[in-house]
Amino acid sequence: MSDVQILHPAELAPVDAQAWREIAAEAPAFANPLLGPDFAQAVGAVRPDARVAVWRRGGKPAAFLPHHPAPSGLVRPIGGALSDYHALISRGQRGLSGPALLGEAGLDGWRYTGLVDPHGLFKPATTREAHRIVLDGDAQAYLEAVRAGSPKKFKNYRRLDHKLEREVGELTLVARDVSQASFDRLLAWKADQLRLTGAFDFLRPAWTPALLQNLFERRSGELQGLMICLYAGGRLAAGQFGVRLGDVYHPWIASTDPDLAAWSPGQLFLLRAIEIMPALGLETYDLGPGHDHYKRPYALIQVAIGEGAALAPNAGWLPGAIEGAWSLAGASRGGVMQRVRRRIDAISAAETTSTARVRGVLAAAAARATRPRASAGPLE
């Protein structure tokens, strides 16, 4: 048994945060900006309901689970839709069980969609792929490998690159870009794209743009915001914004000027972004899960992440009933029901009141009914 505390991230003592970093550093799978104490504390600065379960053995921190409480009793990963990866950070000692640890913390269970679990503490119902660009220091060699995988596609991008430069203006990549106007425009384009495609607008809850703005302004320390933008003749054409920790970059916002869509500026952007990685001190450009069609040609590495739920041995009846209902509906077998559940999960984790959650589900249903048959991916 362990002693367990449930804290707001702001209540983490410096020794706890340092222990978290040290434990995470022992497993390469935890090397991501979203899995450390700095991200949890950044979310905590804009969400009063942020929590971290801290397990202690012999008085020393041994494991951490950042999360948000939920009405269902199944806690959600901290950061809502921005939490592409989440984990119970521990050393994975023999005999540890994720559900048992949840029970020790007094939690009924944990619902996850991007589980990183190098120690096998949980048994996800399904897995999906996350996409990563990983350099060994030679960006040109990587780009050659990418082009070799889809020669016709990248030959066309080269043609569009020249065409955009000829018809709009010289192409310039700015990294890091600190333009507030460009940051605001990227978010506005993304919000428009989400509405057009019927996707859940994760930018709508006030805490999300507040978190992104805070991170955009953070340009020192362990966790930093990073924006990279492509300009054509001085006009913003495409860009990405996200967070970096050390040599790992994880973008959230990827958007382009819709008026330049014919030139595929998102694709042209990413080719240049890969080229600039060594100059930025980046080894990993983590594109995350989803939109496989757009990401796979650039990401030569795919890793499996888990989706499912873990119930504590002493969980109340409601979480079990909810999980049973979703299972009977086929949500763990892929297809439409799994996508519906992901959407509801995203809304539940992002909205902070019951009224907003209901409104979000209704809006999502209405948007799905009217969305175009084909929707743009994050790079377009």
E strand spans, 184-334: 223-232, 235-245, 248-256, 284-289, 301-311
Give the model's pLDDT for residue 376.
38
Residue 147 forms part of a structural domain: yes
Q: Rounded to 5 degrees, what are φ and ψ at 130?
A: -115, 150
311 and 282 together in one domain: no
135 and 153 together in one domain: yes
Residue 346 forms part of a structural domain: no
CATH assignment at residue 245: 3.40.630.30
| Residue 278 lies in domain | 131-302
152 and 249 together in one domain: yes
99 and 10 together in one domain: yes
Asked if 105 and 236 count as a contact pair (C-beta separation under 8 A), the reply is no
143 and 288 together in one domain: yes
Give the model's pLDDT for residue 106.
95
Residue 109 forms part of a structural domain: yes
27 and 168 together in one domain: no
The 3 state secondary structure assigned to 169-228 is CCEEEEECCCCHHHHHHHHHHHHHHHHHHCCCCCCCCCHHHHHHHHHHCCCCCCEEEEEE
CA distance 315 to 111: 13
120 and 139 together in one domain: no
78 and 189 together in one domain: no
Residue 377 forms part of a structural domain: no
Give the model's pLDDT for residue 73.
86
174 and 122 together in one domain: no
Residue 111 forms part of a structural domain: yes
Q: How far is CA 141 from the centre of its chain?
A: 27
Give the model's pLDDT for residue 176.
94
Residues lower than pLDDT 50 in the chain: 373-380
Residue 204 forms part of a structural domain: yes
Give the model's pLDDT for residue 362.
66
Split into its structural domains, the chain has a count of 2
75 and 203 together in one domain: no
Give the model's pLDDT for residue 378.
36
Residue 154 forms part of a structural domain: yes
Q: Rounded to 5 degrees, what are φ and ψ at 296?
A: -60, -40
Last residue of a domain, one of 302, 317, 344: 302
CATH assignment at residue 312: 3.40.630
Hey, which residues does 248 pair with through a beta bridge? 245, 284
Q: What is the pTM of this model?
A: 0.90
Give the model's pLDDT for residue 367.
61
58 and 152 together in one domain: no
Paired tokens of 111:
């619902």
CA distance 242 to 255: 12
CA distance 106 to 14: 24
Give the model's pLDDT for residue 374.
40
Paired tokens of 78:
């901290």
139 and 119 together in one domain: no
Residue 12 forms part of a structural domain: yes
